[in-house]
Chains A and B, each alone.
Chain A
Amino acid sequence: MLLTTGILGAILTANVATGTTAFRAYTASLNATAHKSKSIPAFARKYGLRCSACHTAWPELNAFGQAFRDNGYQLGNDRDSPIFKDASYLPIALRITPQWHEESTTNQTVDAVPGDSSVKVARRLTTHGFDLSGMDFWTAGTLYKNISFVLLFSSDPFASFHFESAFIRFDNLANSPWLNVKVGKFELDNLISEKRFLFLSNNGGVYQSYHFVPVGDNTGFGIGDNQLGMELQGHNKTSYTRYSASILSSNDGTPGTPTGNSYDAFFTFSQGFQAGALGVERIGAYWYLGQQSSLYRTSGGAPIAGSGVDNKSYYRVGLAGDLYAGPIEFMPFYMHARDDPYLGTSTPGNQALPTGAIGPQWNAEFLETHEYLNSRFVLLQRAEIVRMSQQALPGTPTSLGDIDAYSFGGRWMPFMFSRAGLAFHAEYSLTRTVGNVPISGDGVGLPPLNPTASVWSSSLLFAFDFAF
Chain B
Amino acid sequence: MTRTIAALGVALIGTTAWAPSAPRATLAGSVTGTITFTGTPPKMKPIDMAKEPSCAKQHATPIETETVVTGPNNALQYVVVYVSAGDQGSETPTTPVHLEQKGCQYIPHVVVMHAGQSLEIANNDQTSHNIHPLPTKNPEWNKSQPPGSPPIVTKYDNPDFIPVKCNVHPWMHGYHIVLATSHFGLSGNDGTYTITGLPPGKYTLTAWHEKFGTMTQDVTVGAQPTKADFQFKATPY
Query: Do A's and B's CB atoms come within 8 Å in the complex?
Result: no
Question: Which residues from chain B sit less than 8 Å from chain A, CB to CB?
Answer: none
Residues on A lying within 8 angstroms of B by beta carbon are: none
